[in-house]
């Protein structure tokens, strides 16, 4: 068998039977191996879309998402979303075709030093030199993606290595080879955390993106076990995230911050006294030394405990241990009320407001037996993140990158085949990967894409209005494009909504269509809600 067959056998051994890909010369042996092994290829229209889909698929399944792209421009097209996956702490494997090892330095077709380009964005980047090592390299990459602070990894696949013949019994790994390395806190560390929680009057637990409610279903159980409010943070707007309501008022009063895997970075105002209580103490649980060092620099003497452990393992240990002798019920209720605060801003002049559109989508979510909510970024994305709830949610994440929402929605339907998927995004955002409507139609993947169309890049428009004035607006206007008609042309269902009274019926038809649906809604271009 070939190196490509050994690689795909390794994927199957790890329980991976679906990958997201765009074809190309250098990866045809891998495609052929997928056919023989029964591994499904979801074929996209852009390499970046394949990576975005792998990211969403990983978040919803708990597996490592896999994207496969070709060499040269195929590899570089896939690089951007790696930043999003790194910031969202999503375990993802990017496989890239590569020029033959035997032709290194000779000017081979699409020869490029991939590792220096990709290494800064991933936890591990490998370029195997022998086909016999492909399975062990794959196991090493998967283990790295899943362990510690999770994130993307990369393997370049030189063409002569995937074509090289290896013995039939070359698969030398087992399911145990792919298990993540657990980083469990010691008993003394758990005791220190519980003692600090018990002594605190107003503790708050901040969690990184890998501990959001979708990816860590035991979040509510954790809050009950340690009798403290638990706040997952996964937005680039950080303490100004509209979805967190009055979080800044919470943190002004908190006397203990237990940080489970959340980076002490710009999203937390670098841990500065504002908005945190000046006398609050911090406990940081973080498996990454770089991030522990950052916490030390930013927090100084306020950091009383820095624990080298994985946030998920620590959360499970805290659930098991439980907290005795504390009573924070009143504080927890106060925090819940503050986080639930919303500024609806319903007073649109002519068009539908973002809040009205979100309310209509929420009605659809309530009607669905199972729902997945996807919220992209930008100004309308912030409205969606703040106003909508669903049993499972994916957002654009701390990277602040927009454009992946359409791809996330497609992957969500692959991950949750019985769910109704609602993907909300602005008219700027949807343009990044609009061609993936064809992918969804071709693959028979229904999902409802709701576009809040304010005919501009509204986030940047709001910055210009605020910082430069209405007479200094430039480069933010968009046309009244008929995205609904374009989606129909690509095999989907389209709805165009200009009046509030049309909205519910249009969404009903989109859900009932059984197709990838585009609901293009003309909205008032309002700034995202602010609760600071």
The model's pLDDT over 354-367, given as tens digits with 9 standing for 90+, comes to: 999 999 999 999 99
Task: Find tokens 């407001």 and name the residue.
Answer: 353
Q: Is the pLDDT of residue 140 over 60?
A: yes
Rounded to whole angstroms, the Cα distance separating 208 from 226 reads 18
3-state secondary structure of 407: helix
Rounded to whole angstroms, the Cα distance separating 285 from 415 reads 30
Best CA proximity match to 97, nearest among 172, 40, 43, 47: 47
User: Between 487 and 326, whose confidence is greater?
Assistant: 487
Burial 161-199 (b: 16+ CB within 10 A, else e): bbebebeeebbebeeebbebeebebeeebbebbbebbbe
User: Between 274 and 32, whose confidence is greater?
Assistant: 32
**Chain CA centroid to CA 4, Å:** 29
Q: Is the pLDDT of residue 345 over 70?
A: no
Q: Is the pLDDT of residue 219 over 80?
A: yes
Which range (65-74, 191-200, 346-355) has the least confidence?
Answer: 346-355
Token digits for 97?
A: 């075709």
Taking the CA of residue 456 as centre, how many other CA atoms within 13 Å lie in the half-sphere pointing to its CB? 20
Predicted local confidence at residue 169, as pLDDT: 85
Which range (118-132, 348-362, 476-490) has the least confidence?
Answer: 348-362
Instruction: Please write the tens of the pLDDT for every residue from 491-508.
Output: 999 999 999 999 999 999
For 223-229, what is the mean pLDDT? 96
Q: What percent of the chain has pLDDT over 90?
A: 91
Helix, strand, coil fractions of the chain, as percent rounded to 5: 45, 15, 35
Q: Is the pLDDT of residue 347 over 60?
A: no
For 49-54, what is the mean pLDDT? 98
Kind and range of the H or E element at 205? strand 203-207
Instruction: Please write the tens of the pLDDT for every residue from 148-193.
Output: 999 999 999 999 999 999 998 888 887 778 888 888 999 999 999 9
Rounded to whole angstroms, the Cα distance separating 184 from 80 reads 32
For 74-79, what is the mean pLDDT? 97
Residue 106 binned pLDDT confidence (cut-offs 50, 70, 90): very high
Instruction: Please write the tens of the pLDDT for every residue from 238-275.
Output: 999 999 999 999 999 999 999 999 999 999 999 998 88
Predicted local confidence at residue 50, as pLDDT: 98
CATH 3.40.50.1220 in the chain: give the residue spans.
187-339
Predicted local confidence at residue 529, as pLDDT: 85
Best CA proximity match to 368, nearest among 387, 391, 394: 391
Best CA proximity match to 390, nearest among 425, 411, 417, 361: 361
Best CA proximity match to 269, nearest among 253, 285, 283, 252: 252
Q: Which fold has domain 3-178?
A: Rossmann fold (3.40.50)
Token digits for 212?
A: 């959001």
Q: Is the pLDDT of residue 195 over 80?
A: yes
Q: How would you list the strands of the sheet with 125-126, edge to edge?
A: 40-43, 18-21, 65-69, 92-98, 152-158, 125-126
Q: Mean pLDDT of all residues in the chain? A: 95
CATH 3.40.50.970 in the chain: give the residue spans.
3-178, 354-522
Predicted local confidence at residue 350, as pLDDT: 66
CATH of 354-522, one of 1.10.3720.10, 3.40.50.1100, 3.40.50.970, 3.40.120.10: 3.40.50.970
Q: Is the pLDDT of residue 346 over 70?
A: no
Rounded to whole angstroms, the Cα distance separating 404 from 133 reads 34
Residue 368 has what DSSP assignment? S
- Looking at the domain that runs over 187-339, which CATH code has it been given? 3.40.50.1220
First to last CA, the chain: 61
Rounded to whole angstroms, the Cα distance separating 65 from 57 reads 6
**What length is written for the chain?**
532
């Amino acid at each position: 068998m070939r190196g490509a067959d050994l690689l795909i056998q390794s994927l199957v051994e790890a329980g991976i039977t679906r990958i997201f890909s765009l074809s190309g010369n250098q990866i045809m042996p891998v495609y052929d191996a997928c056919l023989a092994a029964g591994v499904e290829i979801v074929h996209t229209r852009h390499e970046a879309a394949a990576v975005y889909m792998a990211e969403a698929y990983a978040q919803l399944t708990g597996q490592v998402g896999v994207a496969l792209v070709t060499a040269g421009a195929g590899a570089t097209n896939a690089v951007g979303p790696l930043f999003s996956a790194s910031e969202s702490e999503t375990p993802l494997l990017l496989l890239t075709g590569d020029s033959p090892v035997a032709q290194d330095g000779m000017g081979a077709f699409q020869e490029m030093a991939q590792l220096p380009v990709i290494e800064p964005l991933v936890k591990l980047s490998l370029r195997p030199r022998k086909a016999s090592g492909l399975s062990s390299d794959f196991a090493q990459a998967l283990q790295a993606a899943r362990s510690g602070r999770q994130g993307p990894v990369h393997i370049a696949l030189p063409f002569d290595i995937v074509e090289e013949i290896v013995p039939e019994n070359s698969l030398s790994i087992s399911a145990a080879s792919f298990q993540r390395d657990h980083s469990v806190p010691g008993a003394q560390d758990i005791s220190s955390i519980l003692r600090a929680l018990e002594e605190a009057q107003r503790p708050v637990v901040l969690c990184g993106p890998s501990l959001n409610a979708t990816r860590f279903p035991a979040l509510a159980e954790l809050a009950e076990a340690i009798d403290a409010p638990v706040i997952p943070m996964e937005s680039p707007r950080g303490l100004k995230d509209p979805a967190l309501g009055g979080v800044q008022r919470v943190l002004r009063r908190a006397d203990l911050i237990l940080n489970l895997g959340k980076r002490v970075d710009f999203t937390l105002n670098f841990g500065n006294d504002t908005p945190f209580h000046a006398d609050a103490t911090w406990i940081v649980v973080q498996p990454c030394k770089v991030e522990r060092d950052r916490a030390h620099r930013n927090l100084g003497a306020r950091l009383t405990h820095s624990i080298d452990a994985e946030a998920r393992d620590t959360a499970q240990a805290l659930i098991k241990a439980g907290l005795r002798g504390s009573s924070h019920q009143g504080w927890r209720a106060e925090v819940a009320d503050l986080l639930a605060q919303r500024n609806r801003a319903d007073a649109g002049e002519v068009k539908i407001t973002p809040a009205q559109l979100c309310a209509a989508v929420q009605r659809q979510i309530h009607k669905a037996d199972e729902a997945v909510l996807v919220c992209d970024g930008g100004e309308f994305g912030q409205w969606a993140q703040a106003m909508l709830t669903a049993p499972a949610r994916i957002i654009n994440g701390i990277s602040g990158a927009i454009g992946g929402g359409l791809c996330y929605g497609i992957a969500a339907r692959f991950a949750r085949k019985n769910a109704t998927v609602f993907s909300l995004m602005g008219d700027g955002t949807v343009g990044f990967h609009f061609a993936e409507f064809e992918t969804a139609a071709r693959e028979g993947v229904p999902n409802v894409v709701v576009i809040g169309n304010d005919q501009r890049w509204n986030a940047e428009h709001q910055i210009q209005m605020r910082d430069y004035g209405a007479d200094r607006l430039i480069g933010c206007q968009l046309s009244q494009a008929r995205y609904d008609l374009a989606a129909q042309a690509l095999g989907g269902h389209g709805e165009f909504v200009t009046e509030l009274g049309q909205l519910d019926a249009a969404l009903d038809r989109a859900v009932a269509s059984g197709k990838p649906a585009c609901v293009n809604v003309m909205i008032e271009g309002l700034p995202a809600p602010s609760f600071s």
